[in-house]
Amino acid sequence: MPEAEVVYSDVKFARGKKGANEAVTTSTDSTYSEIKISKTQPSTAELSEDPQQAVVSKRSKVTSERVVLVVLSVLLAAALIALCFTTFKIITTNKQLENLERHKKNCESNFTETLSNIKSCSTVQPTCPVPKVINDPCYKCEEGWEQHGGKCYYFSISNSSWNKSRDECRAKGGDLVKIDSREEQTFLHRRLRDVMNKDEDKFWIGLTDSAEEGRWVWVDGSPLNQSLQFWNGNEPDDWKGHNGEHPDGEDCARMGEKGGRDALEWWFDAYCSDPHRSICEKSGVKGQFKKVCV
């Protein structure tokens, strides 16, 4: 800052002796040169600049605080927006999960219903295939019956006497099976091995000599073809029991012996009152059948 100067001019001091009648005579002159005394004082400009700098400094401080507040406000707003967006996404995702869960349950319900319909239709015989030979007939059987060679076969699961088993077959529209060929015997032999569950499982067939001992006839009245019979070992032996408790002997024919040798000779004569399973037979129906599953 500029210095304030004080200038003193040359000053002379005279010292002399006084006479009585004379004027004062100068004897010695003392001269003081110019003396400058400097004193540092703030200038007017400086005095005028200090308040402005204070204001600028104060304004700068206020501006910095405002910037910090604005930045914090922006960050807070961004955080709130992000939180709202995340919350919205969570709500949307939960709703989508609920919709998927309902859709899954509907699909499971529809699948179960469709599967039950398929199962109910699977018991029905398929439609007739394209014949290998021109005019080759197509045969169909009712539900629960098996088709083979133009005939339908039913393998019972209950045990009854020979006469009662025949009545049950008739009630179903058929009769006890009559075996007309070696091929039919082969088919029945194979199927019985599949359906027998216990050693006691034996099946009545439509053959008897109850009317005349030794004269075996089928249920339709036709006699047994001597060249087409499948008796096992020494059968028929008409055994009357250990003590003759069955005087009429064994007058009805059955088929099957679980665990027996694997041969077509599988016929046995037995007491007609014994409870056995049975094989029912009836002719297949010709034509094209169509089953509609609803």
For the domain that residue 231 is a member of, what is the CATH number?
3.10.100.10
CA atoms within 13 A on the CB side of 13: 4
Residue 201 lies in a domain: yes
104 with 218, same domain: the answer is no
pLDDT for the residue 251: 95
81 with 173, same domain: the answer is no
pLDDT for the residue 119: 47
204-210-211 Cα angle (round to 5): 135
Residue 215 lies in a domain: yes
150 with 272, same domain: the answer is yes
Dihedral over Cα of 132, 137, 142, 148: its sign: negative
204 with 166, same domain: the answer is yes
144 with 164, same domain: the answer is yes
Whole-structure pTM value = 0.52
267 with 209, same domain: the answer is yes
pLDDT for the residue 47: 45
- The stretches of the chain forming alpha helices (DSSP H) are 44-122, 162-171, 182-195
25 with 94, same domain: the answer is no
Domain edge (last residue) among 90, 122, 154: 122
Q: How many domains does the chain have?
A: 3
76 with 146, same domain: the answer is no
Residue 51, domain extent: 46-122
Per-residue pLDDT of the chain (294 residues; tens, 9 = 90+): 455 454 544 555 555 444 444 444 444 454 444 545 444 555 544 444 556 666 556 667 778 888 888 888 899 999 989 898 899 889 989 988 888 888 888 888 777 777 666 544 444 444 555 444 455 567 789 899 999 988 999 999 999 999 999 999 999 999 999 999 999 999 999 999 899 888 778 999 999 999 999 999 999 999 999 999 999 989 999 898 888 788 889 999 999 887 666 678 889 999 999 999 999 999 988 765 444 454
